[in-house]
Amino acid sequence: MNYLKFDSTDDTPEVMIDSDLSIFIISGNSTPENALATYTPVIEWIKAPDCALNNCQCKFFFKYLSSASHHLVFEIMTQLDKLYKSGRNLSIEWSYEKIDEDMLRLGLDFASILSIPFEFCPKN
């Protein structure tokens, strides 16, 4: 399983993951009615024994993140952190709208808990 893709909707983010091309992007609004259904496929993809994700900057950019989504995004990052600790060359790019201090603070909180390297990228 080297590829996972979901198009964005008004309340779910775009997910594009391709371990062959070293692409990992989750981007958009995240206010789904069922956050578990939205993010479980991503978590399972990362946890799969045949997950070949390596040499990749994992990119996250949320315009809005509900509290239920927040918990599951942190679970995704925790799984990425486990891969990083096992020797995979991974990092996280946390993008946020330049005026959104709450989203920056959330990324900083995640970075303070995890070992995986973070880069913070403000967007206009």
| 44: its two tokens | 């399972």
Residue 30's pLDDT is 97
Residue 94: which CATH number? 3.30.750
**Residue ranges, the chain, pLDDT below 70:** 1
Which letter does DSSP use for residue 98 in this model?
A: T
Residue 14's pLDDT is 97
Q: How many domains does the chain have?
A: 1
pTM over 0.85? The answer is: yes
Residue 1's pLDDT is 61
Give pLDDT tens digits for 67-79: 999 999 999 999 9
Q: Which domain holds residue 86?
A: 3-123
